[in-house]
Structure 1
Amino acid sequence: MSDLPQQNEAQTISALATETINPATTNIDQLSPLEIVQALNAEDAKVARAVEQVLPAISQAISAIATRMRQGGRLLYIGAGTSGRLGILDASECPPTFGTSPDQIVGLIAGGPIATANAVEDAEDSPRAGQAELERLQLTPADTVVGIAASGRTPYVLGALAYARTQQALTIAVVCNPASPLEKLADITISPIVGPEAITGSTRLKAGTAQKMVLNMLSTGTMILLGKTYGNLMVDVVATNYKLEQRASKIVQSVTGLDAEHALALLQQSNGETKTAIVVAKNHVTPDEARAKLAAHDNILRTTLEAMAE
């Protein structure tokens, strides 16, 4: 791990923007319940503005991720504590929303699965553990590794990104402090600077909210570029429960003009595949023919429909 950037000794924990004392909340323990939530809300209002400042970096990232995923690459989130949990949350929501396979977008956390529900704070101190996670997944140059760390100096994440660089994978840092060691290992750095937390050092607050917003954009933006939506409809939704079945039916109804009964029947004939059902309805073909047409156009519904209308 000799290629890890050296920690700046002058940059102690107390010097980090996310660790400094917030003058707006020094008396928060003396406030009424309403005043407490007003103070927290005032701090939260700063998060969207901080994320707005890094939109160019986020857009660069989704373009690069989509390019690699078209080549069969994966999107891998890695972090410790809150940052790791946020990565796992984003990854876990992509299969039902966008029809991705569970191994296409993966969340990794220091300490392993037990750390999703229980604090395993010392696990983040091992750079070798971060590298080992990526070795286990047999990282390739087509993959993207997103290191998530509010401080930008978590050893577990530093080790992961340092290893990812040796494998020519795309490396992205999501951090909430400027000029961090993690930035030196990243091809793209996304750094929403949210400032000091309402409770000093509690980066599950503003920093965590900023990270969640960034990850939402990374996965959603990438999926849009990959044709996982038609307009703003999630046409690759996987109908695994009643709510999602109804959502899929409404999507088919919206695009085709069918009523609910016929939309549900068509979804059943199409094995619950929303895109397939839409192509069947719009072009009067069989489900197998619809799948073949979609496959010929990279499974992008809009491109398929436009080609079939010519």
Structure 2
Amino acid sequence: MQLSIIIPLLNEDESLTELYNWIVSVMQSNSYSYEIIFIDDGSTDDSWEIISGLSDLHTGVKGIRFNRNYGKSQALHAGFLAAQGDVIITMDADLQDNPEEIPELYNLIVKEKYDLVSGWKRKRYDSVIAKNLPSKLFNAAARKTSGVQLHDFNCGLKAYKKEVIKNIDVYGEMHRYIPVLAKNAGYYKITEKEVKHQARKYGKTKFGMDRFINGFLDLISIWFLSKFGKRPMHLFGALGVLMFFFGFSAAGWIGLSKLYKMYHGLPNILVTSNPWFYISLILMVIGTQFFLAGFLGELILRSKRDKDRYRISKTKGLN
């Protein structure tokens, strides 16, 4: 099978039939073998009934229904597990992603040998204040932090080599950072393609400021995991040693200063009356805790069986 088209959705019953017909038209005109996988993320409208009807009419249409709303990342994870095509296309169900882009995305994966191609909606029809400006800030921060040079990380229209989606784990709200997850998994041939953005035809956007805030928090998480997930001592141990060193140095300076003044008969105060004593004490305590956190993190990593410690792409001469 050439293509798996994965479509996560939440309450998009008005657009599903039109989107299905549009995709089928593109598939037939290019003679692709394909499957369409709809993931109903806990819709409360008639979305599942429409998906069931389309599946009855077309054996290539498959549906997965969650018993409640779990989020787009979980929907994509379920779709990735079910996908059988050599190239996987993800797109949103609100008709804002144009199925006419699929052939070019497919060719970039198959002919140009890219691992992942992300859509870039240069011209958008969303609200500037509510979505465009926050998206620009979010994308700039993601580029700076991850090193992946994409203009639109959160574009739903993406194409993947099958191997990529089978070797990454999309969890939490990490669907925004699939290109970063792919890079961290060793897939570096990542590019973007400018795609058309359609104005929303039905329903209302699911985007809110809470998703914008969560996106930045997830960005911090993925940055930390990619940099120090396999070596926590490099971060916590270094911070701990540094803080303990400053605290110990400050305590030593306080003690030597006290002894010097006592020896020369100079006026002095109790060590415990010196505010620097408590600052140095706190620094040493926090430094010790940081060091122990890094040490325990290393013990946990070494004691558990981590299936993602490394990936072997090829072998030769092994039985």
Same fold (TM over 0.5): no
Question: TM-score, normalised on structure 1?
Answer: 0.26
Question: Which structure would you say has the larger Rg?
Answer: 2
Higher strand share: 2
